[in-house]
Amino acid sequence: MVNQEAADEAPGDSGRRNQILDAALHVMAEHGFRGASIKRIAERAGLKSPALIYWYFSDKHALFEAMLRRMAPFLNVVNEAEARLDDPPQEVLPRLVASFLEATQQPANGRFVRVLLSEAVRHPAVAGVFAERGPLVVLSFLERYLRRQTELGRLRPHDPRASARAFMGMLIVYVLGREILPPVGDGFPGRDTYGREVTSIFLNGLSATDGS
């Protein structure tokens, strides 16, 4: 139950909500998901009462899911692409790549990726929630899209499940190199250049026409 002190302090805008999300990100990065108590998050956010958090989030899991939704701009691009299964990959994939790389290089999102990777090892359930809301959504779309493009004759016959994972792998290694393992990213070009190059490599390998 939210106490009266929290009720008196609770604002009606999104500023406080974002403040809490930012605090949760920092606390989870330092203490992990389980160690990020509501009390610690409230202290980091500068709140007088931890109960104020419950005006915005029913529990810590809801807070975590809200952090996931900060990646929504990229997932919105995926949702929009669902209506473009018949459009050529030279149009669809570059937009998907650009949105993914842009989302993961936002400072807050980069920190969140680091939190997720550490939590995935210690708490598989946390990794499962993230996978269902993010990577699996993207992979499912890519599989359907690549299968459709093969049916249309634009890509040579192949296993769309394997190619979808190969494509995502090229993007994830860039994120790892930039955010987690700098030696892996040594010599990487800028985001836009890398996106163009990996898309070109991928499509050239699957092209239904030699030399295209």
CATH of the domain at 95: 1.10.357.10
Q: Is the pLDDT of residue 6 over 50?
A: no
CATH number, domain of 37, equals 1.10.10.60
Asked if residue 51 and residue 86 are part of one domain, the reply reads no
Asked if residue 201 and residue 140 are part of one domain, the reply reads yes
Asked if residue 17 and residue 111 are part of one domain, the reply reads no
- Dihedral (CA of 174, 176, 179, 181) sign: negative
User: pLDDT (tens digit, 9 = 90+) per residue, 94-135?
Assistant: 999 998 888 777 766 667 767 776 666 666 766 676 667 677
Between CA 152 and CA 89 the distance in angstroms is 11
Please state the domain count of the chain: 2
pLDDT value at position 199? Answer: 95
Where residue 57 falls (left for φ over 0; alpha for ψ -120 to 50; beta otherwise) is beta
For residue 34, the enclosing domain spans 4-57
Count of CB atoms within 10 A of residue 124's CB? 11
User: pLDDT (tens digit, 9 = 90+) per residue, 139-194?
Assistant: 999 999 999 999 999 999 999 999 999 999 998 888 878 767 778 888 888 889 99
User: pLDDT (tens digit, 9 = 90+) per residue, 52-96?
Assistant: 999 999 888 788 778 777 766 677 788 888 899 999 999 999 999
Contacts made by residues 1-8, CB under 8 angstroms, sequence distance 24+: 2/51, 2/52, 2/54, 2/55, 3/49, 3/51, 5/48, 5/49, 5/51, 6/48, 6/49, 6/51, 6/52, 6/54, 6/55, 7/55
Does residue 188 sit within a domain? Answer: yes
Asked if residue 130 and residue 36 are part of one domain, the reply reads no
Asked if residue 73 and residue 96 are part of one domain, the reply reads yes
Is 0.95 topped by the overall pTM? no
pLDDT value at position 1? Answer: 43
Asked if residue 73 and residue 20 are part of one domain, the reply reads no
Asked if residue 85 and residue 183 are part of one domain, the reply reads yes
**Which residues fall within 8 angstroms of residue 73, CB to CB, at 6 or more apart?**
99, 103
